[in-house]
Amino acid sequence: MAEPVAKKRALDEKQSKVDFEDFTVLKVLLNDVKSKRVHVHGKFKDSEEDAIVTLMKTPFTESTIQSILSSDTSVSTEFENDIYGQHLASTKPSNNLITTQVIHPATEKHLMKYSHQNVYLLHESAEDYKNITLPYIQKQQFSLTWVYNILDHKKESERILFEDPCTTNGFIFLPDFKWDGKQVEDLYLMAVCHARNLKSIRDLNATHLPLLKNMYNKSMETIKSKYNINREHIRAYFHYYPSYYHLHVHFNHINNDVAGTSAGKAHLLIDIIDNIENIDSEFYQKKALPVMVREQDPLLKLLLN
């Protein structure tokens, strides 16, 4: 019985840090119907600083389904036609939990990142990266404090599934915040390397093959051991451009149709290893890479000029 009590205490402690009672909504930045996620710009009471609150519907689980399809739920009928019917169901609050993420204070860059924008698909040459993208991200990238907090065990250490502490080829493996940890079909994990001089796949060459293979093999072993999922059911990939410039790998179940896995954005880890090992040791220093750039990103104008 101690574990549920401990979990409830931890949840209560987390709840006490955020209060939406006096939160003022300024603008809905993005309402993503497909992912059932909404990003909201607003301000908390007694704070002049901007905040971004993300609300996301949690997935159904076997236990909530059984509870919903029971006397816990009241049903009103919208229409019926022969054997078909459409109804509205209202169930108890515990079946309607919403994952809530908060960025506070939020900068202009955060507001731009979470707003709806048209996207351009470009090809960034090696020269573009050296002369345009690299100088830009060195000046404009988001703070990496939260990443270093994880690597230094200052935050989220209880969430770590596996760690190789080697400063050259090591990494930390933990759940991505997009996954609630309940259903393996929604699995979403992240491997964050300990090396702090690697920003993205553009930095990778043959000297990093031990790191890449270590991240792939140890992560897949951990997934198999903890969740009993074979690597054939896991998609492991980098984003380019990444959302933050500290090298990390995304791992999710192939049945999890998450954003960021499309062509032009995702680069499979096994492909990157193969390209460096069998085609060119400096493949990613030479290759023109597809990049998806949002219309309000100043980098777009720089790349188009």
Q: Do 267 and 248 form a contact (C-beta atoms < 8 A)?
A: no
Name the nearest CA neighbour of 161 among 260, 227, 234, 114.
227
Q: How far apart are CA 261 and CA 270, in angstroms?
A: 15
Catalytic residue among 41, 208, 248, 253: 248
Name the nearest CA neighbour of 178 among 117, 116, 261.
261
Q: How far apart are CA 276 and CA 178, in angstroms?
A: 30
Tell me the HSE value of 71 on the side-chain side, using a 13 A CA sphere: 0
Active site residue 248: yes
Hey, is 97 helix, strand or coil? Answer: coil
Q: How far apart are CA 75 and CA 79, in angstroms?
A: 12
Q: How far apart are CA 194 and CA 212, in angstroms?
A: 12
What beta strand segments (E) does the chain contain? 24-32, 37-43, 51-57, 74-81, 84-90, 98-103, 119-124, 162-164, 171-175, 188-193, 234-239, 248-253, 266-268, 289-294
Active site residues per annotation = 248
